[in-house]
Structure 1
Amino acid sequence: MRDDPCSHGLWERTAPAAPRTGVLEGETTAEVAIVGAGYTGLSTALHLAERGIDAVVLEAVEIGFGGAGRNVGLVNAGMWVMPDQLVATLGADQGGRLIALLAEGPARVWDIVRRHGIDCEATPTGTLHTAVGPSGWAEVSERARQWQRLGAPVELLPPDAAAAMIGSKVYAGALLDRRAGTIQPLAYARGLARAALGQGARIFTGSPATGLQRQGTLWRVTTPAGSVTARRVVMATDAYTRHLAPQIRTQQVFLPYFNLATEPLPDDVARTILPGRQGGWDTQEVLTSFRLDRQNRMVFGSVGALRNSGDLVHRAWARRALRRIFPQIGEVKFQTGWFGQIGMTGDNLPRFHRLDEGIYSFCGYNGRGIAPGTAFGQVLAGYLAGEIPEADLPLRPCQPQPAAFGRLRAAGFEIGAQMVHLVDARR
């Protein structure tokens, strides 16, 4: 298997083929032009098309090129921010709406997968937030308390119960969220695209949006070989935004995240690891994530980019850490590795922008893009169709605000991750 960290790694090799698309050539029109073929853009296109609204998606490279094709594949409910903090930030009314939407995000994903027959290794058996030490246990305990108060099906697992579900004794416990689960993330993106096309949406790949001009009450989005003129435009590019909407890019700080996949584990070993097929991640600042794919490969990840010095540092750390957490695996052989970037906001909450009259954007998923991106796409489609009033949106439209010292902080993420992974080697 080719190991190109700038590719989609394992996901490219195991996903069903993408639906056939082509380059936009010439001029066309639509009701809504969508820039970006990730979860938000494709979900918006699908749910507009289901309403009979003409939607065109412009993708610079290929379906799922950005975060949609590079992430771990954890379909989680909620954001990093705990429910109480979310309400404190947004207020009881708006915060309550956002919590409700995020809570049902995984169910929306599972429903779309079922209705459209998407082959994406969907495994709705939950996820495990694993506690590292006493502080980690305190964190997951408080998270469990807040979600349980809201009636969510989450369970706090003491060390022995957590060890049985994880296949490792290194954790102080875990939070099991039964709403959640795992998918093959690139396969899901391609499945969303196929479903949207089937409902009548149009998707053009290899067609980067290079210009945006107002023409009366309409907007003209240009590409190298064509253009789309539409009443409304959705910028669904998040952490992979280019020059067309620089204010989205400067709103966020970019966190690199890598994944490494082992060769398929022997059956007798695989049976001892995550027997319920949950995916997991821990409570450390420089976190570790882990899950199995359909072929029993361990997908192991953390903060960092597999390039330059980081390539050696992060791979060496991953071999040691995987042996420490799951010693039953034995000698670790990684088959492939890849990385991407996550758009982080200052308060760890997403943003809904009205960039201009008729131009909208959701961004800043802070590493929680699958379920929220899908759900926000559904909501945005309802809003653009006139079915959801602005007052009922889970986030109020706002203007982007530049992140302080964004480039410096982004560089600090990688430097910090390398330092943590180097120090970990000396334990």
Structure 2
Amino acid sequence: FPEHGGLQPRKFHDGLLKAALARGVTVVCDCPVEELTRSGTGFVARTPAGDIRAQRAIMATNGYTRGRHGWLRRRIFPLPSYLIATEPLDADRIAALAPGRRMMVETRARHSYFRVSPDGSRIVFGGRAAITQISPQRAAARLHETMCGIWPSLRDVRLTHCWSGNTGFSFNHMPHVGSHNGVFHAIGFSGSGVVMAPYLGMKVAYQLLGDGRGQTAYSGTHLATRPYHFGGSPWFLHPGEFWYRHVVDRREDAEAQG
């Protein structure tokens, strides 16, 4: 893709935060909303530090939707994304691995994604180490094995970093913008949150203000639940993990080998 690109999510987040602070937005860290209830014409957000009263509210929690937000919790489930970084490699080795320095994504069900680090010294590799939470050590080992299946020459390369974060999936893998019982939401980005969250965050803010610029096709998507998802821990991911690892991955490996 000639126009394919990438960004550093942390720097992007920092830029958005600085822009918000410059415009007078109050940002409160380490203060989770444990409950959001109606109060007259507005809402009360209950936090460990005290209550916050507001006339309007937006839920933008995606893969971190917790607590008593039951309606959304039954419609969104978290899937962890794991990444690793190799030790620094020499320039010739990097050039042999990725001569075009493009962003790379697999079309296989395991959906690995990888790139050369911005400074050109490492391989950064991400993917489905698991669809449930596992330790960084196990995730790193699994991703290293997957990476070496693509680049066997990296078998002797050490890893220096492993990290993860939650994505938030809807059951139809489509984002949704709308409201429920007066609470607005932009949620369910299903693995595309770096791109979709800022765009749909703008749309839901316009909707909250009653501005026509909030119109979007993603207000017409169906944010459905399933009878087996009760809003707690998504137990159904465990059999899904077995299916992908022992059936889908093996079938795709066999097809790749001819």
Whether the 8 Å contact between 1:247 and 1:400 is mirrored in structure 2 is no
Whether the 8 Å contact between 1:354 and 1:398 is mirrored in structure 2 is no
The one-letter code matched in structure 2 to 1:270 is I
| Distance in 1 (alpha carbons) for counterparts of 2:226 and 2:2 | 32
The alpha-carbon distance between structure 1 residues 347 and 306, as it changes in their structure 2 partners (threshold 3 A), is closer
| Distance in 2 (alpha carbons) for counterparts of 1:354 and 1:260 | 37
Match for residue 93 of structure 2?
269
Question: Which structure 2 residues correspond to residues 37-56 of structure 1 after superposition, within 5 A?
Answer: none
**Aligned residues: CA RMSD:** 2.9
- Choose the corresponding residue for 1:333, options 128, 133, 158: 158
- Higher relative contact order at CA 8 Å, sep ≥6: structure 1 or structure 2? 1
Secondary structure of 1:256's partner?
strand
Whether the 8 Å contact between 1:219 and 1:229 is mirrored in structure 2 is yes
Question: Which structure 2 residues correspond to residues 11-410 of structure 1 after superposition, within 5 A?
Answer: 176=1, 178=3, 180-295=4-119, 296-303=121-128, 304=130, 307=134, 311-312=137-138, 314-329=139-154, 331-357=156-182, 359-388=183-212, 392-396=215-219, 401-406=224-229, 407-410=234-237
Structure 2: gaps spanning 5 or more residues: none
Secondary structure of 2:33's partner?
coil
The alpha-carbon distance between structure 1 residues 397 and 421, as it changes in their structure 2 partners (threshold 3 A), is closer
| Distance in 1 (alpha carbons) for counterparts of 2:20 and 2:34 | 24
Deviation at 1:388, TM superposition (A): 1.7
Structure 1: gaps spanning 5 or more residues: 1-175
The one-letter code matched in structure 2 to 1:410 is L
The alpha-carbon distance between structure 1 residues 274 and 208, as it changes in their structure 2 partners (threshold 3 A), is same
Q: Quick check: 366-375 or 298-307, which moved more?
A: 298-307
Deviation at 1:319, TM superposition (A): 2.8
Scaled by the length of structure 2, the TM-score of the pair is 0.82
Secondary structure of 2:177's partner?
strand
| Distance in 2 (alpha carbons) for counterparts of 1:220 and 1:260 | 41
| Distance in 2 (alpha carbons) for counterparts of 1:354 and 1:397 | 12
Deviation at 1:374, TM superposition (A): 0.8
Whether the 8 Å contact between 1:262 and 1:332 is mirrored in structure 2 is yes
State the number of aligned residues: 246
| Distance in 2 (alpha carbons) for counterparts of 1:416 and 1:263 | 33
Scaled by the length of structure 1, the TM-score of the pair is 0.52
The one-letter code matched in structure 2 to 1:383 is Q
| Distance in 2 (alpha carbons) for counterparts of 1:282 and 1:222 | 43
Deviation at 1:350, TM superposition (A): 1.0
Deviation at 1:387, TM superposition (A): 2.6
The alpha-carbon distance between structure 1 residues 363 and 320, as it changes in their structure 2 partners (threshold 3 A), is same
Deviation at 1:201, TM superposition (A): 0.7
Deviation at 1:238, TM superposition (A): 0.7
The one-letter code matched in structure 2 to 1:323 is C
| Distance in 2 (alpha carbons) for counterparts of 1:331 and 1:221 | 52
Match for residue 414 of structure 1?
241
